[in-house]
Structure 1
């Protein structure tokens, strides 16, 4: 049986100051930090072997995002709880996290007391989504498909249609059709307006 007053917690965070602050606070609250990691390569070798009750995982590390690994952990080791911690305010990214297998989603702009509430909630078997996330999820409900969001980001990065088609292994005509649908859904008629609308709705992945 898990002792909720003393959890074994692993920290995945590439910002040293943030990781140290979390570590100090959690130790002062009576919990044990079993492992720490700051990149994707360390997660399975270091974190999982420490058999934590809970993983606090930053969404974006210096070498990529952690969502795929988080889903893998939840699939392979169902008893381990995972709370995704992020400072990203991209509606599309937060929608992805919300639709993943993680047990909780916490924004770094939230207060530490809210994080403790998130921990308590997920350890009791419930899912926790920060109230700060809800406005972004509302923005993401414009109903762009994952593929349209992917193409939107590539368009805004300035990639030509042929390059996008090659990268995604689909035809230029399919890209043209997706672009037309994206602009219709966002109610814009040129790339400049598309960029402004995507930024306004926080649909960009960067």
Structure 2
């Protein structure tokens, strides 16, 4: 039996992943955590075979959790979970020692396959960089430093209001306009207007450009 732990600040995401994983008789979810610090604490209490952690969590990010845990015990198996299919995220995950990288919309078969491969000591990275390339980097190639992965520029807030920053954070987390509207008790049209204004202020044309710029310039730091 493969013992898995789930770390994500969205309960519904954890529930969905748990249902997917435990549909496989060889996998058991032994605990869940809703933020980075809780993940660290629970890892010290009960170590799973594989930890599946969202890249973006409160208190400590998934990358920070991975870095700290891998420094304590390099043999730990950790899969990063994210909404973003982007090579920058994958390289960051490699840099911090992650054993795998999965998108949240990964299908059941691939999710279970990834957990089993990582548990067996292999690497599994979905997205723009294939498992073969990542394994090559891990076995002999130089792992990029943070500065090589992302070239930071001077951070600025682009005149975003407090509400716009709040909505930007939710957009970054992959929350839909409807769910943002429900959460903030606003109409969908109001959220769409905020979204348009945010993209106009930040000077991007689509969501992909927006997410990359948030990372590159640390707009949510």
Shorter-chain TM-score above 0.5 = yes
2:214 is aligned with 1:204: yes
Give the aligned partner of residue 58 of structure 1: 54
Match of 2:10 among 7, 15, 28: 15
Going from structure 1 to structure 2, the CA distance change for 1:119 and 1:196 (only over 3 Å counts) comes to same
Larger gyration radius, structure 1 or structure 2: 1
Going from structure 1 to structure 2, the CA distance change for 1:73 and 1:37 (only over 3 Å counts) comes to same
2:76 is aligned with 1:80: yes
Structure 1, unpaired ranges of 5+: 1-5, 138-143, 160-191
Going from structure 1 to structure 2, the CA distance change for 1:57 and 1:117 (only over 3 Å counts) comes to same
Shift of 1:199: 1.8
Q: Could you tell me the TM-score, scaled by structure 2's length?
A: 0.60
Shift of 1:25: 2.4
* CA distance in structure 2 between the aligned counterparts of 1:195 and 1:95, rounded to whole angstroms: 25
Shift of 1:147: 9.0
Structure 2, unpaired ranges of 5+: 134-145, 160-199
Contact kept, 8 Å, 2:78 with 2:99, in 1: the verdict is yes
Contact kept, 8 Å, 2:86 with 2:128, in 1: the verdict is no
* CA distance in structure 2 between the aligned counterparts of 1:80 and 1:196, rounded to whole angstroms: 39
Matching of residues 33-44 of structure 1 within 5 Å: 33-44=29-40
Contact kept, 8 Å, 2:81 with 2:101, in 1: the verdict is yes
Deviations 1:98-142 (A, max 9, x none): 322010011112212111121122122121110x2339x9xxxxx
Deviations 1:158-178 (A, max 9, x none): 38xxxxxxxxxxxxxxxxxxx
Give the aligned partner of residue 118 of structure 1: 114
Instruction: State the secondary structure of the residue aligned to 1:133.
Output: coil
Match of 2:20 among 19, 25, 41: 25
Contact kept, 8 Å, 1:10 with 1:35, in 2: the verdict is yes
Shift of 1:200: 7.7
Contact kept, 8 Å, 1:53 with 1:79, in 2: the verdict is no
Give the aligned partner of residue 142 of structure 2: none
Shift of 1:10: 0.8
